[in-house]
Structure 1
Amino acid sequence: MSQNQFKLVECPRDAMQGLHDFVPTALKSAYLNLLLQVGFDTLDFGSFVSPKAIPQLADTKEVLANLNLDQTNTKLLAIVANLRGVEEAVLHEQIHYLGFPFSISETFQQRNTNSSIAQSLNTVEEMLALCAKNNKTAVVYLSMGFGNPYGDDWNYEIVEKWADVLVNKGVQILSLADTVGVSTPQKIESILPELISRFKNIEIGIHLHSTPAQRFEKIEAAYNSGVKRIDAALKGFGGCPMAADDLTGNIATEDVISFLNAKGENLNLNMDKWNEAMVLSGKIFG
């Protein structure tokens, strides 16, 4: 597999969004500017959501203005949760991707975006139309894709049903998201190859949350399933503040890098800049 086929998505937005103390805009920007020089395919850098919901990301527009995009091929992704966010995000030329968390758990869709699954499907349709008009690409996360803690129905057929619906609406990139860390290697290897072979022209990614002890087995299961797009965050920071009180962290980017290096993948990353970002992360995450 060539480096062009493997897309690493670094997710500082997901890492920072649940932090209690506000990270100053200048520090956020400096951290993101280092990550932009590493060579990731995509940087999930901020979100256009209500500052009341996620106060940590209230300065996304200011941060965007501080980013140096002249010497990077990394594309920017911003998360949106409703039509107002979509309308705001598409105005920014620098943003390539708009990400929307489409939950296949009704309870979580309400908790996360204050809307039902049916309403969220309308938002996806409107987002696709606005993305097409404004030269953006939509990334839809199948959130709670491996189960949920609320007792809402979940099985492989439900995952496939919603993937079908979204692809038929025109979604080109689907990322299966394990919002609360309930995925297992067995679940990953049962669902992912099925989706990848079923939707041959769709980019299927994975966004996992995990305890540190389970990271490598999940990365390995995703890799063995043929996935070519993996979301991760430096040191495994973060998680979803809307999902649970005990944050289960992201998959650690350094674990993904070392796993893929061991498999002989050519990731073409600037590890000096990566190490600088590792050092600076201490000022943000403590």
Structure 2
Amino acid sequence: MKLIECPRDAMQGLSTFIPTMLKVNYINQLLKVGFDTIDAGSFVSPKAIPQLHDTADVLNRLDWDGGASKLLVIVANTRGAEDAATFERITYLGFPLSMSETFQQRNTNKSIAEALQTLEAIKNICLRSGKKLVTYISMGFGNPYGDPYDADGVAQFVDRLMVLGSDVTSLADTIGVSTPAAIRSLFTTLSARHPQAEIGVHLHSTPQAAREKIAAAYEAGCRRFDGAIKGFGGCPMANDDLVGNLATETILAFLEEKGVATGIDPTQFNAAWKMADEIFPKH
């Protein structure tokens, strides 16, 4: 079971800047919790995501004695990937590849065809630098723009990613439109088609619908979940109305009910949970 905590996703859409040292202190606490991976920041244009323009500074200030979690950062082009690859402590470079042409343009200023070329170049950077590539299939359960979508198209996308050599694929419900039935069906299909691949989910949801979505993914065999404490966040490029991340505590409660070992230290998690209240409502 791999749990990925996503402070980057929780912070990126906020308009009031969170001071760098608050970010550092929060991620330092998350490093103590026992998450497999922390999605800690992004190397994208400050014009696109001004909240995270200090990612490099944050990374340079982290206390690595706190825990063994791996770090992931988001990149949108080869320049960002090259910059991120210089950080020894970063394990994963994440790239958002959309099923929707409209969203791909909004998110990375590229067509899907251009994004696939960029993804191949980023994979080569990963190979040279010893990093791993995580590809997020944005709008993986539908889009609000009327762009074509079907589950077969997602499967064909994943086929291409396997050929390209993406190390991890994450099905992203960017606007929270997935249903338990759709999650179960798509994940079952993809895991059967690529049984050796690591496929996870990055779901956005209302709190009311979160548990049944988690259950659907888990029962279909998913063992990699992205979440954010208290469900903060969402994608600022997606829609006017943000639908938050899966709350990490909801994921943990479900897994505990199932008797699944998570490796999470409850005392350290509780400290991070309280710290989130000090950061996010003020910003």
Question: Number of residues paired by the alignment?
Answer: 281
Alignment of 1:234-253 (within 5 A): 234-253=229-248
- Output the aligned Cα RMSD: 0.7
Give percent identity, aligned residues only. Answer: 56
- Taking structure 2 as the reference length, the TM-score comes to 0.98
- State the alpha-carbon separation in 2 of the partners of residues 232 and 66 from structure 1: 24
Between 1:272-281 and 1:174-183, the stretch displaced more is 272-281
Is 1:118 the counterpart of 2:113 in the alignment?
A: yes
One-letter amino acid of the counterpart of residue 143, structure 1: S
Is 1:163 the counterpart of 2:168 in the alignment?
A: no
Aligned to 2:215: 220
Alignment of 1:49-60 (within 5 A): 49-60=44-55
Tell me the secondary structure at the aligned position of residue 207 of structure 1. strand
Is 1:275 the counterpart of 2:270 in the alignment?
A: yes
- State the alpha-carbon separation in 2 of the partners of residues 109 and 172 from structure 1: 21
One-letter amino acid of the counterpart of residue 193, structure 2: R
Aligned to 1:259: 254
Aligned to 2:72: 77
Between 1:165-174 and 1:25-34, the stretch displaced more is 165-174
- 1:90-127 CA-partner distances (Å, limit 9, x unpaired): 11111000000000100000000010101100111011
CA apart distance, 1:29: 0.5
Tell me the secondary structure at the aligned position of residue 169 of structure 2. strand
Aligned to 1:3: none
- State the alpha-carbon separation in 2 of the partners of residues 171 and 27 from structure 1: 33
Is 1:154 the counterpart of 2:149 in the alignment?
A: yes
- State the alpha-carbon separation in 1 of the partners of residues 272 and 65 from structure 2: 19
Instruction: Name stretches of at least 5 consecutive residues in structure 1 with no aligned partner.
Output: 1-5
One-letter amino acid of the counterpart of residue 95, structure 1: I
Aligned to 2:182: 187
- 1:154-203 CA-partner distances (Å, limit 9, x unpaired): 00111011111111111121000000001000100110011011111210
Aligned to 1:285: 280
**Aligned 8 A contact 2:76 2:95 in 1:** yes
**Which structure 1 residue ranges, 4+ long, deviate > 2 Å from structure 2?**
none
1:66 to 61, 67, 71: 61
Is 1:103 the counterpart of 2:94 in the alignment?
A: no
- State the alpha-carbon separation in 2 of the partners of residues 28 and 78 from structure 1: 14
- State the alpha-carbon separation in 1 of the partners of residues 242 and 112 from structure 2: 24
One-letter amino acid of the counterpart of residue 76, structure 2: A
- State the alpha-carbon separation in 2 of the partners of residues 210 and 130 from structure 1: 33
One-letter amino acid of the counterpart of residue 162, structure 1: F
- 1:234-279 CA-partner distances (Å, limit 9, x unpaired): 0000000000111100000000001000000011211111111111
